[in-house]
């Protein structure tokens, strides 16, 4: 009986440590702030698709992204600005919503689209080349609105001058 009690104590201590380690992530979720801006996708067919996106431009914001979100408006999303063009890899761990990811170069031209990224997946999603921006929208939006490589994203983030 004494050994069982010790195992229970150890298990309780491990669980307490787990929850203490998880606490900063929960606190960060409540404290993480993203500015918003309008974003337009100009399609090759001449359509102007309007969205309101949150801006992830710091390392912490890009790492956090849309994790733990349970809902997002159909015309909403998030733009990730990496500051310079480079090959980007992303994943969906801790991301509840299925997403479409639009990878765009430094001019805002969409070069690759990953449709229907699987929630909670640790599979690597590759930009398939150098990009500066990634726009995440609800899964199915790219197909529904006929968004394709070659279309262009335009927002204050994509048009600002860099040094």
pLDDT in tens, 109-135: 999 999 999 999 999 999 999 999 999
Rounded to an integer, what distance in angstroms lies between the CA atom of residue 104 and that of residue 153? 8
Cβ(125)–Cβ(143) below 8 Å: no
Element (DSSP H or E) covering residue 135: strand 125-138
Look at the domain 34-159 and name its fold: Jelly Rolls (2.60.120)
What string of H, E and C letters represents the secondary structure of 17-64?
Answer: HHHHHHHHHHHHHHHCCCCEEEEEEECCCCCEEEEEEEEECCHHHHHH
The pTM of the full predicted model, rounded to 2 decimals, is 0.80
Specify the pLDDT at position 19: 47
DSSP 163: -
Specify the pLDDT at position 160: 84
Q: Taking the domains of the chain in order of start, what are their residue ranges?
A: 1-31, 34-159
| 152, pLDDT greater than 60 | yes
| 28, pLDDT greater than 70 | no
């Amino acid at each position: 009986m004494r050994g069982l009690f010790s195992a229970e104590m150890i298990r309780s201590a491990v669980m307490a440590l787990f929850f203490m380690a998880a606490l900063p992530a929960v606190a960060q979720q409540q404290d993480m702030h993203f500015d918003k801006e309008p974003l337009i996708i100009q399609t090759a067919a001449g359509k102007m698709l309007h969205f309101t996106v949150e801006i992830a431009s710091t390392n912490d914001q890009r790492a956090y992204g849309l994790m733990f979100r349970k809902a997002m408006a159909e015309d909403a999303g998030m733009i990730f600005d990496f500051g310079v063009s480079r090959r980007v890899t992303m994943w969906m761990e801790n991301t509840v919503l299925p997403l479409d990811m639009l990878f765009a170069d430094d001019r805002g031209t969409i070069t690759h689209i990953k449709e229907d990224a699987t929630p909670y997946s640790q599979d690597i999603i590759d930009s398939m080349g150098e990009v500066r921006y990634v726009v995440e929208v609800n899964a199915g939006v790219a197909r529904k609105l006929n968004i394709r490589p070659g279309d262009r994203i335009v927002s204050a983030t994509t048009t600002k001058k860099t040094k």
